[in-house]
């Protein structure tokens, strides 16, 4: 693989810290208190998420892996330009370890597609690590990592000629609140031209017990993942959360399709956050809402697409209809 240097400079560490401070100050001052799951992914959080993806209860990753394997030929056809030799860009938003993407990358390479793979992430370490591992495994692949937020990446790439096929896998779309999700999809769709394509992974509504278990596993890895946020705030903001006085709690509401996760204080307490020079009070069992993980239906996906000016071109699912990878076009 040939990997060029990141083309976009991300915000500095000081800016990131300022954002986190602002976020905590606002989130812990509102009723009900909230913190965002976007802050789960420090080094330890990313390591725990890798562990979650391998848990027996966490079906989404292995299901999507199976469905990409099952439909790789049809998916490749839907993503690549009709003329076999026409060059195109395969962008991936938040690629992670690229395990699932490699199924498609291999298939495209084996069938002679002329494309450049562009993994996009705000973390330079994430895209560079992935580019290096791909270099080893798929030496013939062209990789151009892009360090940017997703909207910026798509706007930057819009000026390049050739089809852009954009992957957003893993049902990360489910981590947005409905209004944010709509705004995000519109932002993704706006720079696309008629020939471009989006492939989005959606976790589907199913037996509510299966869904709930996926977010409250028996080994407690998901609990550690949620609680790690407190450790992060202690380290980065000089907070004094007593981790043993907090629990992970999660529920699934089949009406809204939302899994909601909370950090629950098991006793009343005051927590000082040195970086904010502020103390926050928590009543016993006062929930701090940390994550949403929405589950979808076909009609909901159709209406989300329509709202963003997109059409569902193809809808791929696994044999149990647990998960869908959906090809969208402007
Ligand atoms: C990253 N995202 C799609 C995961 C999910 O299923 O919502 C994050 C996660 N949270 C708890 N377990 C997994």
Q: Tens of pLDDT along 123-175? A: 888 888 899 999 899 999 999 999 999 999 999 999 999 999 999 999 999 99
Using CA atoms, how far apart are residues 306 and 303, in angstroms rounded to an integer? 5
Query: From the CB of 221, is ligand 1 less than 6 Å away?
Result: no
What's the whole-number mean pLDDT along residues 231-236? 98
Q: What is the whole-number distance in angstroms between the Cα of residue 293 and the centre of ligand 1?
A: 7
Q: What is the whole-number distance in angstroms between the Cα of residue 205 and the centre of ligand 1?
A: 15
For residue 293, give the ligand 1 atom closest to its CA: 7
pLDDT at 108 over 80: yes
CB atoms under 10 Å from CB of 177, counted, come to 11
Among protein residues, the one with the nearest Cα to ligand 1's atom 7 is: 293
Rounded to a whole number, what is the distance in angstroms from the first to the last CA of the chain? 31
pLDDT, tens digit (0-9, with 9 covering 90-100), for 60-106: 999 999 999 999 999 999 999 998 889 999 999 997 788 899 999 99
The interface predicted TM-score of the complex, written ipTM, equals 0.99
Q: What is the whole-number distance in angstroms between the Cα of residue 62 and the centre of ligand 1?
A: 13
pTM of the model: 0.94
Q: State residue 11's pLDDT score.
A: 64
Among protein residues, the one with the nearest Cα to ligand 1's atom 4 is: 172
What's the whole-number mean pLDDT along residues 188-199? 96
Query: From the CB of 171, is ligand 1 less than 6 Å away?
Result: yes
Q: State residue 216's pLDDT score.
A: 98
pLDDT, tens digit (0-9, with 9 covering 90-100), for 269-323: 999 999 999 999 999 999 999 999 999 999 999 999 999 999 999 999 999 999 9
Give the residue, out of 46, 49, 257, with the most ligand 1 atoms within 8 A of its beta carbon, to mutate for a pocket test. 49
Exposed e or buried b for every residue in 261-290, given b needs 16+ CB within 10 A? bbbbbeeebebebebbebebebeeebbbbb
Q: State residue 6's pLDDT score.
A: 42
Residue pair 166/195 in contact by the 8 Å Cβ criterion: no
């Amino acid at each position: 693989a040939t990997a060029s240097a990141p083309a976009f400079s991300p915000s500095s560490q000081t800016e990131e810290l300022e954002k986190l401070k602002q976020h905590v100050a606002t989130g812990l001052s509102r009723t009900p208190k909230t913190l965002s799951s976007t802050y789960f992914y420090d080094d330890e959080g990313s390591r725990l998420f890798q562990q979650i993806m391998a848990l027996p209860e966490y079906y989404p990753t292995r299901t999507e892996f199976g469905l990409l394997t099952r439909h790789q030929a049809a998916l490749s056809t839907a993503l690549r330009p009709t003329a076999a030799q026409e060059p195109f860009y395969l962008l991936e938003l938040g690629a992670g370890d690229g395990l699932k993407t490699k199924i498609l990358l291999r298939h495209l390479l084996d069938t002679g597609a002329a494309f450049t793979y562009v993994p996009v992430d705000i973390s330079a370490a994430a895209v560079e690590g992935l580019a290096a591992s791909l270099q080893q495994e798929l030496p013939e692949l062209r990789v151009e990592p892009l360090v940017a937020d997703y909207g910026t990446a798509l706007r930057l790439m819009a000026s390049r000629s050739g089809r852009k096929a954009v992957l957003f896998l893993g049902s990360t779309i489910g981590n947005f609140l409905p209004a944010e999700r709509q705004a995000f999809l519109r932002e993704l769709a706006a720079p696309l031209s008629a020939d471009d394509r989006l492939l989005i992974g959606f976790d589907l509504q199913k037996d509510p017990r299966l869904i709930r278990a996926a977010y409250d596993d028996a080994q407690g890895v998901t609990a550690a993942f949620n609680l790690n946020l407190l450790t992060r705030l202690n380290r980065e903001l000089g907070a004094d959360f007593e981790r043993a006085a907090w629990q992970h709690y999660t529920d699934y509401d089949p009406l809204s399709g939302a899994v909601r996760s909370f950090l629950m204080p098991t006793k009343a307490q005051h927590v000082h956050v040195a970086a904010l020079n502020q103390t926050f009070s928590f009543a016993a069992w006062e929930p701090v809402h940390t994550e949403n993980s929405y589950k979808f239906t076909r009609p909901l996906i159709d209406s989300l697409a329509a709202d963003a000016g997109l059409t569902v071109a193809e809808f791929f699912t696994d044999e149990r209809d647990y998960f869908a990878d959906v090809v969208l076009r402007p």
